[in-house]
Amino acid sequence: MRRARFAAASAAIFATAAVLGAVGAGGGDDPAGGKYLVRAEFDNASFITTGENVKVSGVTVGAVQALDVTPDHKAVLVLRIDDPAFRPFRRDAHCRIGLQSLIGEQFVECSPTEPRGGDRAPAPALPRIDDGRGRGQYLLPVKQNSSPVGADLLNDIMRVPEQQRLPLILSEFGAGLSGNGETLRAAIKRASPALQQADKLVAVLAAQDRTLSRLVAESDQVLGPLAAHRRDLTGFIKHAGQTATATAQEGSALEANFAKFPAFLRELGPAADRLGQLADQTSPTIQALAAQAPAVNEATARLGPLAQQSTPALKTLGNVADRGRKTFPQIDALVTRLDELGTPLQPLAQNLAALSSSFDKTGGIESLMRFIYFYTGTVNGEDASGHYTRAGLGANGCIDRTSDFNGSCSAKYFNNATAGAASATAAKKSTTSPGAAGVPSSSTTHLLDYLLGP
């Protein structure tokens, strides 16, 4: 009886899906129409209608153009991809149905291909259906798609009457599902992408079971030292967090540094080449220094006693410097005055320098020395009795002592104001003839007075 009801219910479900597919499906567009259509198969596409968005990484790139059902009772969504940047879809593409709003509206999220890096070539494009149902469309099989159960349906299970209907459905469909365990298992895995990834993870772990067992066996050797230094490890983690926080606060500066990094790299290449050339040129010098390394080491070792002996001298220099701090401010005023004095004396010093230079170049010093020598010899004489001073006694009318002034005499004891003119007149009238007893004349006396001074 239960099997009969299960068969009737299944037939009703399939009939309904066929009617929906007949209404919504439009077959394949003409390939010459310029549309790129992906025929994506799902285990379940309930609540999806035509016109729903097709997104790639959250960006709308197309829409659901039609609905259909395959002969093996799989739901088909014909996806129109309008954005050329996301065409064509590759063989490693996959799509899933997601909830777009709280009122039950859904959308289709697709990934045209898996991310690739390095030199990995992209996967081949999806195969095109050239004949039959869906002609001109690109087939994306059900094994690469998923239709997760919506959160609203799970919440409905907790409410009446769905809560009461669920045990009845499980009870009625239990016999039918018992013979399709593998199909149900595949459908459940496709319904939950997390189960697919978990299955892949388990497969990878199973393939690496020996490596994992060796890791477990050798982990004690690593964890033992880590446990002994757990405080250092926790400190490192704490400081790493602080470092990361400080780095995040300076994000703008880091971005500016990275923006300048390409220019730095462009300059680094030529600089590295020049450094390489410098290293090549300095290699002989370094080799020579390496050969003299023992002597350099010995000289360095002997510098220690020299440094110790120079310590008192450096201390003395320090004391002198301390005194200089007191002395130099005190003589600053004197230096300023000397500077002020030197400025007006500069022309005089230049004139004296020119006079001294001219006096030296013309032989003035030698002439002065000769004059002193010959003058001394002229004034002083020498005979058998010794040295004597040559002098002349003037025997004339000026010898007599009188209180009256005689203008013809050149006596020095007189008033210049009253007798200057008379003396000058008498000097002009004097003759150059010698006096009595060979005494020199008045003009000769004047010459001697001029040479000898007062």
User: By the 8 A CB rule, do 133 and 126 touch?
Assistant: no
Residues 6+ apart with CB under 8 A from 437: 395
Alpha carbons within 13 A on the beta-carbon side of 140: 30
b/e map of 35-62 (b: 16 or more CB within 10 Å)?
Answer: bbbbbbbbbbbeebebebbbbbeeeebb
Taking CB atoms within 8 Å and a gap of at least 24, the contacts of 29-35 are: 29/65, 29/136, 29/137, 30/136, 31/128, 31/136, 35/80
User: By the 8 A CB rule, do 36 and 143 touch?
Assistant: no
Residues 6+ apart with CB under 8 A from 44: 75, 147, 191
What are the structure tokens assigned to 260, written together? 């300048």
Q: Which of 421, 410, 407, 416 is nearest to 447 (CA)?
A: 410
pLDDT per position in the chain (454 positions), as tens? 344 443 444 444 444 444 334 333 444 445 435 689 999 999 888 788 899 999 998 899 999 999 999 988 899 999 999 999 999 999 999 999 888 776 667 899 999 998 887 678 889 999 999 988 888 999 999 988 887 766 666 677 777 777 777 777 667 666 666 667 777 677 666 655 656 666 777 788 888 888 878 887 788 777 888 788 888 888 888 889 888 888 888 888 888 888 888 888 888 888 998 998 999 999 898 888 888 888 888 888 888 888 888 888 888 888 888 888 888 888 888 888 888 888 888 888 888 888 888 888 888 888 888 888 888 777 777 777 777 776 665 566 666 666 666 666 665 544 554 445 544 554 444 444 444 334 444 444 554 454 444 4
Q: Which of 388, 392, 405 is nearest to 443 (CA)?
A: 392
pTM for the whole thing? 0.35
